[in-house]
Amino acid sequence: MTEIASQFTISIDQTEGYEFLVKFDKDSFAALVMDEPPPLGADKGPNAARVLAAAIGNCLSASFLFCARKAHIPLGPIHTEVKVQIVRTTNRRLRVGKVEVLIDPHLQEAEREKARRCVELFEDFCVVSQSVRQGIDIAVFVKGLS
């Protein structure tokens, strides 16, 4: 059995159409508007696939930064790009098919060899990408129906 390290709850409320307002568990975090692109929504905010891509890219970037700092490797400002392919299944359902992450830590030439150790380690410490890769147990309930 796994040990629960922490828990949090966010709330999501429909505002209109396919637009939803996400409220986080801390008052200091700004709410996030999410929406689907046309023809369903009005594209007023990122959709779930874009938020997932941001979570993956942010977590990997932070994990690399953590490793570099522990190894005393100076970095420039990290720039990360996340490319997501949306595919159709044989049932014609849309799915996230592939995610490619490119992290540019702006390493100095003299630090590249030291940074190779981080490349071997950092992904294992990324909560989001490792959870997505291994699959997440998701229980879904519909109030009044489940």
| pTM reported for the whole predicted model | 0.91
pLDDT digits (tens, 9 = 90+) for 65-85: 999 999 999 999 999 999 999
> How many domains does the chain contain in total?
2
Judgement on whether residues 21 and 69 belong to the same structural domain of the protein: no
Expressed as residue numbers, the domain containing 20 is: 1-45
| Cβ-proximal residues to 14 (8 Å cutoff; 6+ apart), any chain | 20
Same domain, 106 and 131: yes
Looking up residue 81, the CATH number of its domain turns out to be 3.30.300.20
Residues 64 and 127 grouped into a single domain: yes
Phi, psi of 135, deg, nearest 5: 90, 145
pLDDT in tens, 109-128: 899 999 989 998 999 999 99
Tell me the angle at which helices 127-134 and 48-70 cross, rounded to the nearest 10 degrees.
120
Same domain, 76 and 117: yes
Label residue 2 by pLDDT band (50, 70, 90).
confident
Residues 38, 81: one domain? no
Question: Are 62 and 114 within one domain?
Answer: yes
Question: Is 143 found in the same domain as 100?
Answer: yes
Asked if 7 and 63 sit in the same domain, the reply is no
Quote the pLDDT of residue 138.
77
